[in-house]
Amino acid sequence: MGPGRKFALGISLFGLGLSLGLFVGWEVWPRGRCGDQPSELRWEHREEYVVMVAEEYLRYGDLEKAGERLALLGLADPVQMVVDLLEAGGESAPGLAHLAYALGARDTALAAYLPTPSSTPTRESELPFRLLESVNLGCGEFPEDLIMVYVQGADGSGIPNVELKISGPQGDDLFYTGLKPGVDIGYADFALLAPGEYSLRVTEGTSQVARVMARPCRRGSHRAWRVVFQKVD
């Protein structure tokens, strides 16, 4: 083969290699679409990544590996992202719930997907008040992170002047229903100023206890819970 043909062949092979490299880089695995690291993924792909981590945890139970993979996202609170995806529902919810619980979340949204421990509960007839409802309302346009409490009679009407006790990361506090009759005569709310687990009960005698896990929301929004206690006849 003459020098001219060798040169032409070299140019052709170089061009083929360059074309293949550009095709792989732009079409098969474009940097702008996928990113080289989980922290570089677009938000919708981060959500898919978290779902994959949760499904793998549900299948194999390797919490350490799941935690390491979530840490690669570079989020301040990856557990909150797991909980937010769980609250959106869908087929991936069981895996997300088990992963969130294993990582320390105690949101009420997890309860539907986790086994209930067997125990001998106190009979409702022995309690002045029972916990009728405890719902995580999620993140939204609330003025601050709030527990919104309604205390009702057996007929569903609000009861004012009921003392409530809340315990959390900053200690214990008491607050009372009836101070915002424009909402409901049996209504009271309490601002959650620190993240962590809180427990709430009616102080009259003994009541069932509501528990919530406060975690910050994304993009400056706030989270709220609705808790309803009802007087037992």
More confident residue, 113 or 10: 113
Tokens of 151: 């205390």
Please report, for the chain, the start and end positions of each structural domain, with discontinuous segments joined by +.
Answer: 37-106, 124-231
Tokens of 79: 């557990």
**Can you spell out the DSSP letters for 106-141?**
--GGGGGGSPPPP--PPPGGG-SEEEEEEEEEEEES
How do residues 60-90 score in pLDDT, each as one tens digit? 778 888 888 888 888 888 888 888 888 877 7
Whole-model pTM? 0.50
More confident residue, 183 or 128: 183
Return d(Cα 198, Cα 194) in angstroms, integer: 10
**Does CATH number 2.60.40.10 belong to domain 124-231?**
yes
Instruction: Tell me the pLDDT band of 148, cut-offs 50, 70 and 90.
Output: very high
**Can you spell out the DSSP letters for 5-31?**
HHHHHHHHHHHHHHHHHHHIIIIIS-H
Residues 6+ apart with CB under 8 A from 123: none
How do residues 182-216 score in pLDDT, each as one tens digit? 999 999 999 998 888 888 999 886 678 888 878 77
Give the closest residue to 105 by CA, choosing from 209, 17, 208, 196: 196
Tokens of 194: 């620190």
SS3 at position 21: helix
Is the pLDDT score of 33 beyond 70?
A: no
